[in-house]
Structure 1
Amino acid sequence: MAGDVITGMGRRLGGARLLLIVLLNLIPVGGVLWLGWDAGQILMLYWVENIIIGVMSLIRILTARQPDTLAPGSTQMGTIGVGCFFIVHYGLFTLVHGVFTMMLAARIIDGGDGLWERVFANPSFHLAVLGVMGLQVVILIREWWSSGLWRRSTPGMEMFRPYGRIVVLHVTVLAAAWWLSGTAAPMGAVLILCLMKAVVELALTAVISPAARSPQGA
């Protein structure tokens, strides 16, 4: 049964896309298994990943070549206007999400006293962010530029593309992490959080039409 599900996802997503999503989700798993990361550090990595996704989406918006009502005639100024609107809107979304994430991460990480040291000043966290960024760039090149999707998509389509999956995915993750924050979550529980995020991400990505796959991994 599980093998059939994985095979079906592989056909739906394509082997390379499936592999990239798995690799993205192995980064936090590695942090838990080998570096002793807790749920707070995992949450912060997922939040930073959202920022990276926003940057990749902005690149797609600015380079999409099909005209739409949000950027009439695909003029440069119209496309830039859509990009500016996205920066403000997605920026506010990410800011609010970040506030909730930091509050929850602080609750998990030594009552907040170790948040800076264990996340922002942690070299292993920096390496994880670089890993996520590198994989997202690979996805962008492969599924946006190499596939020629940039010629067929519109700025408006790319502006709205990241929201659906990100909202569902991170509401699920935050709810699970909130439950973990009230317990002395063992390593196994944190790994389950990572696995749950990976499964939800794969499922959400699989329902997107293959012709309009997004480059985002969160």
Structure 2
Amino acid sequence: MSIVPTADQRETRAGLLPVAILIASNLVPIAGILWWDWDAFVLLSLYWLETAVFGFWMILRILAFSQAGSTGAGRSLLSAVGLAGFFMVHAGIFMSAHMVFLWALFSGAWKAQLHDARDFIRLIVIGKGLWLPLLALFVARGAVFVNDVVNRFVFRRPQPQPTGTDAIVGGFYQRIMLMHVAIIGGGLVAMQIGSAAPLVVLVLLKTALDIHLERRRRR
């Protein structure tokens, strides 16, 4: 019996990596809710910042796979750079509007403490420990990106997920919209009940949705 893994086995193992990352990265928010006094605004701020992390690696994915479209034609590098720039502006507008929405609905007592971006970084990102799951997610998504690039361009293995820029951008926005509709709805329920339990349920639901979207993307 051969002990060398087949192509299907390698693909399955590669698909398990992002799922394991998603599960591990969501253990920190549960700890934050249970032991570090995270409220709905802190938790939703974490998920808001995660959008920037996913966006960063998506831009690099656009540039890296600009010549590797699903039809074989792909985009020119100049076209991919233009698309990446357009996405940065568009995503910045989206995130700004999203924060205004979160601030209006969930900021509560934080309104008296947060006056500018420096206060947000000092009290929320550092003070509440959001930098830890963000750093872990940044490194983990970077590892997935490097793995995909090496497989595609060094070992010449076909990628299980779409590599065309249209598919990458479309998949990103689909993920973000579905994710944040579920997160905001769960956050509103948690605020109404006034208990940590709905926030834990929200994290678990978000994790399940994360895994579902990641597996569907790779299929």
- Higher Cα radius of gyration: 2
Q: Which residue does the alignment assign to 1:213?
A: none
Unaligned runs of 5+ in 2: 1-11, 115-119, 153-158
In 2: Cα distance, 1:67 partner to 1:204 partner: 21
Once the 2 structures are TM-superposed, how far is the Cα of residue 68 of structure 1 from its aligned partner? 8.4
Once the 2 structures are TM-superposed, how far is the Cα of residue 12 of structure 1 from its aligned partner? 10
Once the 2 structures are TM-superposed, how far is the Cα of residue 118 of structure 1 from its aligned partner? 3.9
Q: Which residue does the alignment assign to 1:169?
A: 179
Written as runs of structure 1 = structure 2, the 5 A alignment for 1:54-73 is 54-64=55-65, 65-66=67-68
Q: Which residue does the alignment assign to 2:80?
A: 79
1:187-208 Cα distance to aligned partner (Å, 9 max, x none): 2222111111111222222333
Letter in 2 for 1:182: Q
Q: Which residue does the alignment assign to 1:26?
A: 27
Once the 2 structures are TM-superposed, how far is the Cα of residue 85 of structure 1 from its aligned partner? 1.5
Q: Which residue does the alignment assign to 1:208?
A: 217
Counterpart among 131, 137, 143 of residue 142 in structure 2: 137
Once the 2 structures are TM-superposed, how far is the Cα of residue 73 of structure 1 from its aligned partner? 6.7
Contact kept, 8 Å, 2:29 with 2:43, in 1: the verdict is yes
In 2: Cα distance, 1:173 partner to 1:73 partner: 34
In 1: Cα distance, 2:44 partner to 2:74 partner: 41
Once the 2 structures are TM-superposed, how far is the Cα of residue 160 of structure 1 from its aligned partner? 2.0
Cα 1:137/1:104, change in 2 over 3 Å: farther
In 1: Cα distance, 2:74 partner to 2:193 partner: 55
Q: Which residue does the alignment assign to 1:184?
A: 194
Could you say what secondary structure the match of 1:153 adopts? coil
In 2: Cα distance, 1:13 partner to 1:62 partner: 22
In 2: Cα distance, 1:16 partner to 1:196 partner: 20
Cα 1:131/1:67, change in 2 over 3 Å: closer
In 2: Cα distance, 1:180 partner to 1:73 partner: 45
Identity %: 23
Query: What TM-score do the two structures reach when normalised by structure 2?
Result: 0.76
Instruction: Give RMSD over aligned pairs.
Output: 2.9
Q: Which residue does the alignment assign to 1:43?
A: 44
In 2: Cα distance, 1:138 partner to 1:16 partner: 9
- The answer on 1:193 being equivalent to 2:198 is no
1:141-180 Cα distance to aligned partner (Å, 9 max, x none): 22x2133149x72222222221111111110110110122
Could you say what secondary structure the match of 2:38 adopts? coil
Counterpart among 123, 126, 129 of residue 131 in structure 2: 126
Contact kept, 8 Å, 2:179 with 2:206, in 1: the verdict is yes
Query: What TM-score do the two structures reach when normalised by structure 1?
Result: 0.76
Unaligned runs of 5+ in 1: 1-10, 211-218
Q: Which residue does the alignment assign to 2:7?
A: none
